[in-house]
Amino acid sequence: MLHTFVALVSDKPGVLTRVASLFRRLNINIVSLTVGESERPDVSRMTIVCEAPESAAHRIKASLYKLEITVDIDEVGRSEAVIRELCLIKVAAGPAHPLGQSSRSQIFELANVFRARVVDLAPESIMLEMTGSSSKIEGLIQVITESGYTILEVSRTGRMAMRRGHHTSRVLKALGTTNGSGSQVNSPTDWNSQPAADILPNEFPEVHPEEDREDET
């Protein structure tokens, strides 16, 4: 299954290499990785999506937190966070296309249906910009391909995630935020009552222990 981790890390050279090496040692594939500035000075925000068994989530969080470059680490789910992805799609369309000038109008209609924007128009192509869930982006790409158009280029940022604000239990129920038993998950103020296996790494008794010699290589 896919896991989404949000890590705040020091803005220093070599941080990305350290994180990538950690996942290599754990033998876990990174599906997407997005890095950018955060609200804190000298701290970068890293969103990591990886494919791993459900039981491996706690191990991944613990391993990430053991890195001295890590300021904070959290795993977010779809129901408890807003998850978006940015995608640029360049499609062949224009007078040279078999459909002629009507090819552009059809691309415009598809863009309106999926709430994408046209950000570039050239004699031989159209570039679309779309922000949304991965499934929505995959849907647009599939419809364009099945409509007989040629996709020249695709550039995707990968997932970006942020936890939702505090909501009432009614809103949480509508969002589908439940635990395995079907009851509402505990709010952040109730984290101390969660099982040890569910405690976030930033609640570990040891803060930033020295890394193993293996982490230094």
Model pLDDT, residue 45: 93
Q: Which are the contacts of 48, defined by CB distance < 8 A and separation ≥ 6?
A: 4, 5, 6, 7, 19, 23, 30, 32, 33
210 is written with which tokens? 């020295």
Domain termination site, one of 111, 136, 156: 156
Enter the pTM of the model: 0.67
Domain termination site, one of 104, 135, 156: 156
> Residue type for 215, please?
D
**Is residue 16 located within the same domain as residue 71?**
yes
CA pair distance 209, 211, nearest whole angstrom: 6
Domain termination site, one of 156, 172, 205: 156
Domain for residue 173, yes or no? no
Domain for residue 177, yes or no? no
> Residue type for 60, please?
I
Domain for residue 207, yes or no? yes
**Is residue 131 located within the same domain as residue 97?**
yes
Model pLDDT, residue 76: 86
Question: Position of tokens 């640029």?
Answer: 88
List phi, psi (to 5°) of 198: -100, 0
Domain for residue 102, yes or no? yes
**Is residue 104 located within the same domain as residue 129?**
yes
**Is residue 75 located within the same domain as residue 88?**
no
CA pair distance 23, 139, nearest whole angstrom: 30
CATH code for the domain in which residue 94 is found? 3.30.70.1150
Question: Position of tokens 């599906």?
Answer: 31
Domain for residue 161, yes or no? no
**Is residue 42 located within the same domain as residue 91?**
no
Q: Is the dihedral of CA 111, 116, 122, 124 positive or negative?
A: negative
Q: Which residues of 23-49 are buried (b: 16+ CB within 10 A; e: fewer)?
A: beeeebeebbbbbeebeeeeebbbbbb
Digits of tens for pLDDT over the chain (217 positions)?
Answer: 889 999 999 999 999 999 999 999 999 999 999 999 999 899 999 999 999 888 888 899 999 989 999 999 988 876 678 889 999 999 998 776 666 667 788 899 999 999 999 999 998 899 999 999 889 999 999 999 998 889 999 999 998 888 887 656 666 566 665 543 344 444 443 434 444 444 334 433 444 444 444 444 4
**Is residue 56 located within the same domain as residue 113?**
no
**Is residue 30 located within the same domain as residue 58?**
yes
Q: 9: domain range?
A: 2-80+185-216
Domain for residue 88, yes or no? yes
Per the structure, the count of domains in the chain is 2
Model pLDDT, residue 164: 82
Domain for residue 125, yes or no? yes
Bridge partner list, 91: 126, 151
CA pair distance 73, 66, nearest whole angstrom: 10
Model pLDDT, residue 82: 87
**Is residue 94 located within the same domain as residue 145?**
yes
- Contact between residue 78 and residue 132 where contact means Cβ atoms under 8 Å apart: no
How does DSSP classify residue 7?
E
CATH code for the domain in which residue 53 is found? 3.30.70.260
